[in-house]
Amino acid sequence: MQDSPLNIVRGRDVSFIKEVEAESGQNVSNCYQCGNCTAGCPAAFTYDMQANQVMRAVQLGLKDQVLHSKSIWMCLSCSTCSLRCPNNIDVASVMETLRHMARRENIVAVPRMDKFWMSFLNTVQAFGRSFEIGTMVLYMLRSLRLTTDVDLAPSALSKGKLGFKPHVIPDGGAKAVGRIFKRYQERAKREGVRP
């Protein structure tokens, strides 16, 4: 809990509400706080702010609080919340928007999660498709969690879920995917946001 009460006239960021609405395409004032998003969220146990509280904080324009929350990083983007919302709000899209905004502001409340994603994207950039062992190794090195989930390796290997060689995409597909990444990185550099 915060020490002093939050003054929602002085402490709120109205432009933040507008930005989130514009970027996510959702009208956050439609949310009437029934809590269905939180009730169905499979990652709720890892959240510091529950999904409905994130929505409420966005309604109130509490930019700092939302962008510093761990929840937006722990979200699985499974879209159960969006599916169940009685007001048809795409809550997952709001969460994703918030994640993008946080990245742009250099706020990463769960660095490990960021490292995992970067590892995944790096393999996709290199090979055009996900490369599980590559992702694993990169993530282990970056996070220094060298033994995380290795107990799952034998069964994954025996089922052929962990190939030692990356997937090959015919007709130069890997290079085409690489070009998409490059274009994005160039644009990010031009617009001065975090790649």
Partner 1 sequence: MRIGVFVCHCGSNIAGTVDCKAAAESALALPDVVYATDLMYTCAEPGQAAIEQAIHDYNLTGVVVASCSPRMHEPTFRRTVERAGLNRYMFEMANIREHVSWIGKDMVANTNKACELIGMAVAKLRNNRPLYAQRFDITKSVLVIGGGVAGIQAALDCADGGIPVILVEKEPTIGGKMAKLDKTFPTVDCSACILGPKMVDVAQHPNITLYACSEVDDITGYVGNFDVKIRRKATYVDWSKCTGCGTCTEKCPSKKVPDRFNENMGLTTAINIPFPQAIPKRASINPQYCRKLTTGKCGICAKVCPTKAIDYTMKDEIITVKVGSVIAATGYDLMDWTVYQEYGGGKYPDVITSLQYERLLNASGPTGGHIVRPSDGKEPKKVVFIQCVGSRDKSIGRPLCSGFCCMYTAKQAVLTKDHIPDSQSYVFYMDIRAVGKLYDEFTRRAIEEYGTEYIRGRVSKIYPDGNGQYVVCGVDTLLGQRIEVTCDLVVLAVGIEASHGASHLAEKLRISYDQYGFFLEGHPKLRPVETNTAGVFLAGVCQGTKDIPSSVAQGSAAAAKVLALFSRDKLENDPQIAHVNPARCVACGKCIRCCPFGAIKEETFRGQLKAKVIDTVCQGCGICTSTCPQGAIQLSHATDNEILAEVNLLCQY
By CB under 8 A, which span of 25-33, 122-130, 137-145, 171-179 interacts with partner 1? 25-33
Residue 7 or 158: the one with the smaller Cβ distance to partner 1 is: 7
152 binds partner 1 (CB under 8 A): no
Q: In 10 A of CB 24, how many CB atoms?
A: 22
Out of 36, 53, 93, 135, the residue judged to bind partner 1 by CB under 8 A: 53
Q: Which is nearer to partner 1, 51 or 138 (CB)?
A: 51
What does the alpha-carbon distance between residue 94 and residue 100 come to, in Å, rounded to a whole number?
10
Q: CB nearer to partner 1: give 10 or 159.
A: 10
Q: 182 and 121 in contact (C-beta within 8 Å)?
A: no
C-alpha–C-alpha distance, residues 162 and 155, integer Å: 9
Give the Cα separation of 97 and 2 in Å (integer): 25
Q: Which is nearer to partner 1, 44 or 140 (CB)?
A: 44
Task: Tell me how many residues contact partner 1 (CB under 8 A).
Answer: 21
CB of 61 to partner 1, least distance (A): 10
Cα–Cα dist 17/41, whole Å: 23
